[in-house]
Chain A
C-alpha cells in the first residue's frame, strides 16, 4: 500500500521568507500526487496536483511543487509567504489496491504558521 510521509509537523516562518514543506511517498509504478490546504475551521482545498508531464507544477497563489521520481519526493515551496498562508498542508498520493479500489492516502499534515 502507498504511504506518505510529511517530515515536519510544524513549520514556523516569518512573513516574506521562503518556505519548503517536505513530502515523501512510497514508490509505485504510476504516481498521482496532490497537495491540499486546510485553513482554520474549513475543509480541505486542492492546492496543486501532479498527474503526468512536467515535473514542476504551480498553483495560482504562488506555491509550486516538484515531482522527483528518484527521490520519491513532492516537496511544496513558496519563495515568499504571507500571513494568509497560515494553514495546515496535506500531501496525498493516489493508491490502487485492485479492482476499483482507488483512494487518496494523506500524510499527517504540516502546520505552516507565518508570523509578522
Chain B
C-alpha cells in the first residue's frame, strides 16, 4: 500500500459525458501528479501540482483539467469524453516537486468510455 488513494476504482460512462477522478496523496506529500496509461500511448504524464499550484504540464488535453485543494487532495476533470479517453488514470505523490523525489503511485482509476 503506497498511501495514495484514488476513487473510484472503476468508472464506466458514455461519450460526451464529464467525470471527476479524485486522489488523496500520501501524508506529508505536497506534490500530486496525474498520469494516463493506455495500451497504445503507454504511460503519459498529464499534469503536476505542488501545494495547490500547477508546476508542470505534460500531454494534457484542453478537455481535461485538474486542481489541488488546500487539504492537498486533487481532482482530475475529464469532459466531452471520447472513446479514446478510455484508459487507466494514475495519481502519484511526492514530497518535493523537482522530479528527483520518489513518486508514490495510487492503484489507479480505470475509465471506460462507451
Contacts and interface: CB of A to CB of B under 8 A. Distances in A.
B105 A43 contact: yes
Interface stretch (A16-24, A45-53, A59-67): A45-53
Given A43-B2, A94-B100, A100 B55 contact: yes
A94 B4 CA distance: 21
Interface of B: 2, 4, 33, 42-45, 48, 55-58, 90, 92, 97-100, 102-108
Given A42-B107, A94-B100, A100-B97, A105 B4 contact: no
A106 B44 CA distance: 7
Contact of B43 (A42, A90, A94): A90
A51 B56 contact: no
Interface in A14-62: 32, 36, 41-46, 49, 51
* Interface secondary structure of A, over-half rule: strand
Interface centre among B33, B48, B55, B99 (most CB of A within 10 A): B99
A106 B100 contact: no
B108 A43 contact: yes
Interface residues of A, number: 24
A90 B98 CA distance: 20
Contact of A104 (B2, B45, B106, B108): B45
Given A51-B100, A109-B42, A44 B90 contact: yes
Given A45-B2, A106-B43, A32 B56 contact: no
